[in-house]
Structure 1
Amino acid sequence: MRLPSTILIISCWLATFTLGHNVLLPAYGRRCFFENLNKGDEFSVSFQFGDRDPQSSTQLNGDFVIFAPGRSAALKSIVDQSHGEVTISAPSGGKFEYCFINENSGVQTKDVTFNIHGTVYVDLDDPNNETLDGSVRKLSKLIKEVQDEQSYIVIRERTHRNTAESTNDRVKWWSLFQVAVVVANSLFQIYYLKRFFEVTSYV
């Protein structure tokens, strides 16, 4: 009984593929990739734009688009977002191209972390399917999506931490500047009053 269960789990993992990548985007450019799909295959891309500059405190945005075979049409697109997820069901077989676009930005350290989730079309993908193998496949897909979201959270946390540290530095230097102004003003008043009384005593 254990052997069929093992074969079942392995076959489920083979039917579902997941790939994770991180690429640097060229300034005013784009990076494109492709996947060969059969009609009915489910294809999903989740992504998070980031900055390879460890001191950056800015959340960078970008565009994303998936093209039909031969770039005959844009199937799905996302504009000026920091992160997102797009899922399509291939309307036909062929080479589907997807691009991460940075054409409106000159930032040279912008990168994108993305994960590919794909499910080869079989009857088990029916959401009403309640068999054990179908449930295992759905569970494995959900686990992978949670792992991907955790990796994106790390990127966002780094950006937010840099923003907080930058704000703290500005507050610190502004406070020191205010103290310096108060001290300088106090010294000037002491000097002015001292000179005033000296002139009065001479008269």
Structure 2
Amino acid sequence: MIEVPASKKECFFEDLHINDKVWRGSALPVISRKLVSQMTVTYQVGGGGHLDIDFWLTDPSGHALAKHLKQSTGSISITAKKDGRHEYCFSNQMSSVVDKIVSFNVHGVIYVDDDDTVAPIEREIRALAQGLTSVKDEQEYIVIRERRHRNTAESTNSRVKWWSVLQAIMLFCVVAWQVYYLKSFFEVKRAF
């Protein structure tokens, strides 16, 4: 989670390479196969303003690979076509007052060609790892969504409470005025 101040942007970098020769984060042996590096970024605005943010992803030469404007949630996956540092940014430059809270996940995946040399157990391990990552992302999304809905419910509850207090005060004022006004009808007026 990050907080993006009003009129600012926050940028992050990931180094991706074509034909990586290592299976990152795994003890599985890699026989010489074609490997391709992929990155997935998922994000969601959890608080601030209209719950929207600008997002873009650029390759090492500065070409935009993805751009989302005023989105509250998004996901983008890219496959590395160039070696180097890929930049992704969250921008709150459209807001001059409100800071935004953004939750995001970055997943780097190294894909190995599925040919006949891949063991069935290796395929299953990859499928389970991908499923686990998917479940984790969904849980984080649900936590942020629950927080946003709870804040909305608390805000609504506060407004209803103060509206009820205002109505009670107005009711007592109207009743007091009516009693005073009706009392003036029954007063005896004497002429001297």
With normalisation by structure 2, the TM-score equals 0.80
Q: Provide, for residues 42-87 of structure 1, a one-character-per-residue CA deviation record: whole Å limited to 9, x for no partner.
A: 1101112223xxxx7x55210111101121x101121111111110
Q: Which has the higher helix share?
A: 1
Q: Distance in 2 between matches of 1:23 and 1:176?
A: 38
Structure 1 vs Structure 2: percent identity of aligned residues?
45
Runs of 4+ in 1 over 3 A off after TM superposition: none
1:85 aligns with 2:75: yes
Are the structure 2 counterparts of residues 108 and 175 from structure 1 closer, same or farther at C-alpha, using a change threshold of 3 Å?
Answer: closer
Correspondence for 1:97: 87
Task: Give how far 1:123 is off.
Answer: 1.6
1:48 aligns with 2:27: no
The one-letter code of the counterpart of 1:100 is F
Correspondence for 2:111: 121
- Indicate if the aligned counterparts of 1:59 and 1:159 stay in contact, CA closer than 8 A: no
Count, aligned residues:
172
The one-letter code of the counterpart of 2:141 is Y
SS at structure 2 position matched to 1:118 = strand
Correspondence for 2:169: 180
The one-letter code of the counterpart of 2:181 is Y
With normalisation by structure 1, the TM-score equals 0.76
1:202 aligns with 2:182: no
Q: Distance in 1 between matches of 2:142 and 2:83?
A: 34
1:76 aligns with 2:66: yes
Q: Distance in 2 between matches of 1:154 and 1:29?
A: 26
Once the two structures are overlaid, the 10-residue window that deviates more, 129-138 or 183-192, is: 129-138
Correspondence for 1:160: 149
Correspondence for 2:27: none
Correspondence for 1:34: 13
1:169 aligns with 2:169: no
SS at structure 2 position matched to 1:187 = helix
Task: Give how far 1:104 is off.
Answer: 0.7
Q: Distance in 2 between matches of 1:60 and 1:167?
A: 17
Q: Distance in 1 between matches of 2:119 and 2:184?
A: 94
The one-letter code of the counterpart of 1:94 is G
- In structure 2, the gaps of 5 or more residues are 19-35
- Indicate if the aligned counterparts of 2:92 and 2:99 stay in contact, CA closer than 8 A: no
Q: Distance in 1 between matches of 2:2 and 2:159?
A: 32
The one-letter code of the counterpart of 1:154 is V
Q: Distance in 1 between matches of 2:39 and 2:78?
A: 5
Task: Give how far 1:150 is off.
Answer: 1.0
- Indicate if the aligned counterparts of 1:25 and 1:108 stay in contact, CA closer than 8 A: no
Q: Distance in 2 between matches of 1:161 and 1:23?
A: 20
- Indicate if the aligned counterparts of 2:46 and 2:147 stay in contact, CA closer than 8 A: no
Q: Distance in 1 between matches of 2:181 and 2:101?
A: 58
Are the structure 2 counterparts of residues 140 and 107 from structure 1 closer, same or farther at C-alpha, using a change threshold of 3 Å?
Answer: farther
SS at structure 2 position matched to 1:104 = coil
